[in-house]
Chain A
């Protein structure tokens, strides 16, 4: 069987590094830059003047991916042990097209876009990352979700032989990692299924071959290395909520007004941060994407649904 990796014709081959670098500067120069490149709204709408793209080596070497260990350097050190080819995805639940699909068949024919998003971790650090990906709604639409599909649940690969963190004895996480979105959140144009970053294939430590990116939510919502998509009528459980519901909710919208019980969420350390310039900045409601997404939560008490 011939398995073509569609990612290989994208990114760095299309965009030479030098062009890419100059475009980067162009993009960070302001929202106008992206608009003129013909990218959809959202890719640029909420970037601010002083949002500088985080260096690639930080994006790929400073990761939370507990499947490979709880240290920030663990994923970069051990994620190469994960086999990502072949990669199959099980689609189930309230949809017309369910079953097991090859990853490359799912994304075949769909356009990959570049989106520069702010990324805010629940641990109060943040980055600005040039992701490559496909709007999540385009992927989900293929499976023809039924009317009673109110939520969508995602599941990360469970393979302890290749993911050493899943073997940890002193861990309370019940693997595999689970996350979920309300359907209207999943269908929002900002929600992206990421297949690459920096114009290159997605590195294993960043969640290869594909991972979610929901930029107005804390990073843990953006589940990595997805092997299952399930449409459901009821709100699915997500791993961090399961572990500590008083600290991590289902919605996990970035909200400076609601502290994590153990630390403040009012500000964040924008990486790269240094001892001599911490680069601390105020955290914005919905991570700065309030104009685009706040209406999804109209009338909801965000202190209750944190």
Chain B
């Protein structure tokens, strides 16, 4: 019974930060600085960046959580959460391109090449773009076994995003520490399961 509600709840949860952003932008139209702060361009970029990180980590947590809590219904929302993370990353990047690179390819290229933290963010964006494009059932079928290998690139996209955040900070790493711990726990679960399987396989061989 409860399973039926998993997806709708996930959808609503994923939409909440967008609605909140809409409300903040609405406040900005009423009075500058009232929604996104005195430097709203910066505020918008950071809001989107922060939610990119959070939702990406949520997507990264689906498999371990559904495995540990024996809750397969969650897996069916994995693509949705992943695509939602990508939407934040994409809009975050577009905001950067519009407001910071001023829609000039030359500035954008220079920033990506000259600033390592932007290079890392860009690399993460590229990976997530590829994963999003190939997230459909059609691509799953077409790629067969290599689909899983391809989507393991998320193991690179997450640390790249974390480094991107760490590198752009001047000081104050509280949230970076929390995100990193979150990612490490979810990665540790995978490592643990992987090693357990290996041991079992070895036993089976013997």
Interface residues of A (CB under 8 A from B): 57-58, 61-62, 66, 69-70, 72-73, 123, 125, 168-173, 243, 259, 261-264, 269, 271-276, 278, 280
Whole-angstrom distance between the alpha carbons of A169 and B171 in the complex?
11
Using CB atoms, name the residue of chain B closest to A122. Answer: B170
Chain A positions within 8 Å of B172 at CB level: 66, 69-70, 168, 170-171
Distance in angstroms between the alpha carbons of A165 and B204 in the assembled complex: 56
Q: What are 23 A-B contacts with C-beta separation under 8 Å?
A: A58-B33, A62-B38, A66-B171, A66-B172, A69-B172, A72-B37, A72-B38, A73-B37, A125-B42, A168-B172, A170-B172, A172-B171, A172-B173, A243-B171, A262-B115, A269-B42, A271-B33, A272-B32, A273-B40, A275-B40, A275-B44, A276-B29, A278-B99
Cβ-closest chain B residue relative to A127: B38
The answer to whether A168 and B174 touch across the interface, beta carbons within 8 angstroms, is: yes
Binding site for A on B (CB under 8 A): 25, 28-29, 32-33, 36-42, 44, 99, 102, 111, 114-115, 117, 167-168, 170-174, 176-177
Instruction: A264 to B117: give the CA distance in the assembly, Å.
Output: 13
Shortest C-beta distance, A187 to chain B (Å), equals 30
**Of A57, A170, A263, A275, which contacts B177 at CB under 8 A?**
A170
Main secondary structure on chain A at its contact with chain B? loop
> Once bound together, how far apart are the Cα atoms of A171 and B171, in whole Å?
6
How far, in whole Å, are A180 and B117 apart by their CA atoms in the complex?
30
Residue from the list A170, A273, A275 in contact with B176, Cβ < 8 A: A170
Q: How far is the CB of B35 from chain A (nearest CB, A)?
A: 9
Q: Please measure, in the bound complex, the distance between the C-alpha atom of A169 and the C-alpha atom of B177, giving whole angstroms.
A: 10
Closest beta carbon of chain A to B44's beta carbon, Å: 7
A289 to B11, CA, bound (A): 54
Q: Report the bound CA distance from A5 to B58 in whole Å.
A: 54
The winner among B25, B40, B171 for most chain A CB atoms within 10 A is B171
Known interface pairs A125-B42, A262-B117, A269-B41; A275-B36 also in contact (CB < 8 Å) = yes
Query: Which residues from chain B contact A274 at a C-beta distance below 8 Å?
Result: 28, 32-33, 40
Query: Across the interface, do B167 and A273 meet the contact criterion of CB distance under 8 Å?
Result: no
Which residue of chain B has the shortest Cβ distance to A172 in the bound complex? B171
**B111 proximity list for chain A (CB < 8 A):** 264
> Do A272 and B171 form a contact, CB below 8 Å, given A58-B33, A263-B115?
no
Q: Is the CB–CB distance between B41 and A170 below 8 Å?
A: no
Q: A274-B28, A275-B28 are in contact. Are A125 and B39 (CB under 8 A)?
A: yes
* A58 to B37 Cα, complex, angstroms: 9
Chain B nearest CB from A64 CB (Å) reads 9
Docked pose: A123 CA to B36 CA in angstroms: 17
Specify the chain B residue showing the minimal Cβ separation from A266: B107
Given A272-B32, A275-B44, A171 and B37 contact (CB-CB distance below 8 Å): no
Known contacts being A170-B176, A172-B171, is A62 close to B41, with CB within 8 Å?
Answer: no
Minimum CB–CB distance from A182 to chain B (whole Å) comes to: 25
Which residues from chain B contact A57 at a C-beta distance below 8 Å?
33
By beta carbon, the residue of chain B nearest A248 is B170
Q: Are A62 and B171 in touch, CB under 8 angstroms?
A: no
A168 and B102 alpha carbons, distance in the complex (Å): 36
